[in-house]
Amino acid sequence: MDIALIIIGLLFSIFGILGCLLPIFPGPPLSYIGLLLLHAAPKYQFSSKFLIIMAIITLVVTILDNFMPAWSTKQSGGSKRAVWGSMIGLGAGMLIFPPWGLLIGPFLGAVIGELSTGKDSREALKSGFSTFIGFLGGVVIKLMASGVMMWYFIKMAFSL
């Protein structure tokens, strides 16, 4: 039973790391499920405090990841239309041409939003680039969170 939980938990952790890079999978939530599966094995127990902290980190990182492109657009001076465009572009990109739509959609949405306000192409591209930087920031924080969870998983499972 313990071996099965370790293997399945490890698969969740691996898909968690992949999910940080491929928007098909929700990275940190999968990594957290991997920790929970290992915790379900009687031999491998995390403290309740640790699991709660990891759950909070997972929730915060997941929320931040969804809002960072729009936030970075706003921080760079983008208009409300650019912010809305980045969020609409994210949704449309996910639906229309995944997984690349998650990269291109927010960028194009912010650019189109800025152009619709009458700003020149330079300002519009600046907003689009800021959106892309926000997206990359989300990827980095997801990788950090999932990487930490993977490290704790391996440390506990293989007694490192």
Paired tokens of 56: 């909070």
Rounded to whole angstroms, the Cα distance separating 119 from 92 reads 23
The Cβ-side half-sphere exposure at 150, using a 13 Å CA radius, reads 20
> How many domains, in total, are found in the chain?
1
Domain that holds residue 79: 2-157
Specify the pLDDT at position 160. Answer: 60
Among left, alpha and beta (phi > 0; psi -120 to 50; other), residue 26 is beta
Specify the pLDDT at position 127. Answer: 84
Give average pLDDT by consecutive 10-residue segment, the chain, 160 residues. Answer: 90 94 85 96 92 97 86 82 85 82 85 90 87 86 96 88
- Structure pTM? 0.79
Specify the pLDDT at position 17. Answer: 95
